[in-house]
């Protein structure tokens, strides 16, 4: 059972797998996002409270969920790389950081655009958006630390440790922000009594979430190839890899 895990540790194998999987990820992502957008913008009925403004959740919720998930993936990859000294872990972490940061920014922008009709201002220090903002700071911290070192290997390890320390703090930050200001209306999707939305509203949202996840997979596959090449000494397999 463990063989695939060990194979995942070898850079040439990861490079080939990433190159092979990328088209599948991208294709499926296009399909699911396409369906989600059409379902969400055209067929889903307007919300009884917010009217058509609620359609922003079809981009806000997936990017918000992804922003935290990608940070967690980055932290897990960093922990694996630190503990077992697997260089591919650093490559995955370095590749995930910009994607996660851009999705966090997307969540922030769409969240404040969604807030305007509801609260009358673009920024009302809503706990969910404030946590997203702090998450963006954590991403920027990890990325700038990685690039601050001349020796890339040390930059990787320093950023990896910061990612692990950061992921421990994400729930703490979120709890403290919510404790500080419980103004935000309960999230329509993840609530105790299950989604308040009708199925015609819900399915497009789940499809968008799946689409964004697959899209993350696709971009990760591209970036990981670059990061693996960068970290790979002048070993034989790199020569073939560059030709393709």
Partner 1 sequence: MKIATEGLAVDSVHVWRGDRHVLQGVSAEVHRGELLHVSGPNGTGKTTLLRVVSGLLHPEQGIVTWLGQSIVSHRTDYQAALAYAAHEPALKGDLTALENLHFSVGMKRRSTLQELRDALERTGVAACADLPARVLSAGQRRRVSLARVIAMRASLWLLDEPYANLDAAGSQLVSELLQAHVATGGLALVVAHRELALACTVRRLELNS
Partner 2 sequence: MTVSAWEAFWLLVQRELRLSFRRPEQLLQPLVFFLIVTTLFPLGLSLQLSLLRDIAPGVLWVAALLSALLSLDFLFKSDADDGTLEQLALSGHGLTVIVAAKTLAHWLVTGLALVLVSPIVGTALGIPVGAFATMLGSLALGTLTLSWLGAVGAGLTIGLRRGNVLLSLIVLPLAMPLLIFGAGATDRAISGTNPAGALYLLAALCVFTCTLAPFAAAAALRITLE
Partner 3 sequence: MSGGGFWYMGGYARYVWPCIGFAGVVLVWNLWSARRSLAAAKIRASRALAMAASEAR
Instruction: Decide if residue 140 touches partner 2 (CB under 8 A).
Output: yes
Interface stretch with partner 2, choices 3-11, 108-116, 138-146, 201-209 (CB under 8 A):
138-146
- For the purposes of burial, counting CB atoms within 10 Å of the CB of 30, is it exposed (0-12), middle (13-18) or buried (19 or more)? middle
Nearer CB in complex with partner 3: 96/131: 96
Dig out the tokens for 211 from the structure.
């689409």
76-111 burial by CB neighbour count: b if 16+ within 10 A, else e? bbbbbbbeeebbbbbbbbbbbbebbbbbbbbbbebb
Nearest of 149, 172, 173 to residue 161 by alpha carbon: 149
Q: Which of 20, 41, 140, 153 binds partner 1 (CB under 8 A)?
A: 153
Each residue 57-86 as x (binds partner 2 by CB under 8 A) or -, in order, gives -------------------------x----
Interface stretch with partner 1, choices 37-45, 69-77, 149-157, 195-203 (CB under 8 A):
149-157
Q: Which of 233, 239, 242, 243 binds partner 1 (CB under 8 A)?
A: 233
Radius of gyration of the chain from Cα atoms? 20
Residue 214 CA to chain centroid, in angstroms?
A: 11
Q: Please, which residues have CB within 8 angstroms of residue 76's CB and are 6 or more apart in sequence?
A: none
Q: Please, which residues have CB within 8 angstroms of residue 85's CB and are 6 or more apart in sequence?
A: none
CB of 76 to partner 1, least distance (A): 22
Structural contact between residues 208 and 66, judged by C-beta atoms closer than 8 angstroms: no
140 binds, options partner 1, partner 3, partner 2, none, Cβ within 5 to 8 A by partner type: partner 2
Instruction: Decide if residue 105 touches partner 3 (CB under 8 A).
Output: yes
Bridge partners, 167 (sequence order): none
Q: Which of 110, 130, 188, 213 binds partner 3 (CB under 8 A)?
A: 110
Nearer CB in complex with partner 1: 35/149: 149
Nearer CB in complex with partner 3: 3/40: 40
Structural contact between residues 41 and 58, judged by C-beta atoms closer than 8 angstroms: yes
Residue 186 CA to chain centroid, in angstroms?
A: 22
Nearer CB in complex with partner 1: 151/193: 151
Instruction: Decide if residue 165 touches partner 2 (CB under 8 A).
Output: yes
Q: Which residues bind partner 1 (CB under 8 A)?
A: 150-153, 233
Q: Which residues of this protein are in contact with partner 3, per CB under 8 A? A: 37, 41-42, 46, 51-53, 55-56, 59-60, 63, 98-99, 102-103, 105-106, 109-110, 113-114, 116-117, 215, 218-219, 222-223, 225-227, 229-230, 232, 234, 238-239, 241-242
């Amino acid at each position: 059972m463990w063989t695939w895990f060990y194979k995942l540790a070898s850079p040439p194998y990861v490079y080939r797998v990433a190159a092979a999987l990328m088209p599948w990820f991208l294709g499926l992502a296009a399909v699911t996002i396409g369906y989600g957008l059409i379902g969400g913008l055209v067929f889903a009925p307007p919300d009884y409270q917010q009217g058509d403004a609620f359609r922003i959740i079809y981009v806000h919720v997936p990017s918000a969920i992804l922003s935290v998930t990608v940070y967690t993936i980055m932290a897990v990859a960093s922990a694996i790389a630190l503990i077992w000294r697997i260089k591919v872990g650093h490559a995955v972490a370095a590749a995930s950081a910009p994607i996660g940061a851009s999705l966090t920014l997307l969540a922030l922008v769409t969240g404040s655009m969604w807030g305007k009709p509801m609260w009358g201002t673009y920024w009302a220090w809503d706990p969910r958006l404030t946590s997203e903002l702090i998450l963006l700071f954590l991403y920027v911290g990890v990325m700038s630390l990685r690039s601050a070192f001349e020796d890339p290997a040390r930059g990787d390890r320093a950023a990896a440790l910061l990612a692990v320390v950061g992921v421990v703090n994400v729930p703490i930050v979120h709890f403290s922000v919510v404790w500080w200001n419980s103004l935000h209306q309960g999230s329509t999707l993840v609530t105790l009594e299950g989604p308040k939305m009708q199925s015609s509203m819900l399915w497009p949202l789940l499809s968008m979430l799946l689409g964004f996840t697959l899209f993350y997979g696709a971009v990760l596959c591209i970036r990981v190839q670059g990061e693996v090449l960068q970290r790979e000494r002048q070993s034989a397999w790199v020569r073939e890899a560059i030709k393709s």
